[in-house]
Amino acid sequence: MGTRSDQSEGDGCNSGIAKMIFNPAAGIVIDSLGWVDKGALWAFDIASQTENLIASDLAGASIRTGEGGFFRVWHPKCADSMVSIRHVGAPGIERAAVRFRGAKPEFSGDVELWRFVETAVLMFAPPHHEKLIKIDPIGRRVVELDPSWYLRGGYDLVYQGLIDCLTLPDENRVIVSVQRSSKLVVIDIEENRPVGSIELADRGGNPNLRMRTGDDFIASDYDTLCRVEVGSMSAVRSVRLQREASDGTRQFIGDYQLQPDGTCLVARPFSGDVLMVDSGDFKVLARAEVGGQPLRVCAISADCVVTRDRKTGAPSVATLRPA
């Protein structure tokens, strides 16, 4: 197995949760690339090809797409340490939030909006590890899930932070991924303990997790995409999408974005392109030549994508062509 390439593809422990969002009505793409945007929200106007930073008071903001145009923002460095919900139509406006000023979380805004976003959240817990919480907006409470499986599980707490989490449709289980690990951990919320694990493709981890249907989800595994069945809790399909460099160095794939038509866009920083694959069998359907090192990706039409470079954050607009 070749050595790994540079691991600076993410925002620390939460590299998996920042995703680009497109607002078709305004023709604007929203993103937050931590090391480039300094925690602000980034907006790119498709028509004018101009960039703008908004809501710059949201220090350390990381975003995760939801449904209906809503998205969740985690603000780890703001004074309140908060999680808020915003809409792509007006990203600078807070629609709902939970703040952690003291011992009891404080909810504000329309609690019904939490049904549009993921309510399992990874948060920093100093000095050297993260914690996983589950937000219960109806009960106006936050459940802190027991981290002992992680803290005492033989992980390197400096180099193996928690990466992503995903609530399964039954609402009783949360899947958690760990940096540099291809094993996903299944947490039972009611029992507040691990109840299983899922082995991916043994490619070295940093898994980003997204529900594909009610029966399966997609997990990245460094240079590979995997499809995991919820029923069997096993990876039933995988494909390696980024090959090793000529010197044998392993190279990771960038972000991926599931589409309503069942396809999946995958950015490939070391190939300078974006692939469109079938999210069921991972067959390559189309490719967009971008150049540079595209890390983020977002569809703005059936055959057009916007990407951002992993080093500079520079946007590019590219056309998908049949493979």
Angle, CA of 306, 310 and 315, to the nearest 5°: 30
Q: What is the pLDDT of residue 126?
A: 61
CA 270 to chain centre: 20
Q: What is the pLDDT of residue 253?
A: 96
Domains in the chain, please, with CATH? Answer: 8-117 (no CATH), 255-323 (2.40.10.480)
Please tell me what DSSP assigns to residue 128: T
* Exposure letters 229-264 (e unless 16+ CB within 10 A, then b): ebeebebebbbebbebeeeeebbbbbbbbbeeeebb
**The pair of three-digit structure tokens given for residue 76, joined into one six-digit string:** 């780890």
Cα–Cα distance, 214 to 288 (Å, whole number): 29
Q: What is the pLDDT of residue 14?
A: 35
Q: What is the pLDDT of residue 16?
A: 39
Residue 188's H or E segment, with its range, is strand 183-188
Low-confidence ranges of the chain (pLDDT < 70): 1-18, 55-60, 76-80, 125-129
pLDDT over 70, % of the chain = 89
Q: What is the pLDDT of residue 17?
A: 47
Cα–Cα distance, 216 to 229 (Å, whole number): 4
Cα–Cα distance, 42 to 29 (Å, whole number): 8
Q: What is the pLDDT of residue 245?
A: 80
Strands (E), 14-65: 21-23, 28-31, 41-45, 50-54, 62-65
**Residue in this structure with the two tokens 């939030």, named with its chain if needed:** 97
- Which tens digit of pLDDT belongs to each residue from 98-136? 998 777 899 999 999 999 999 999 887 665 567 899 999
17 and 213 Cβ atoms separated by less than 8 Å: no
CA 128 to chain centre: 21
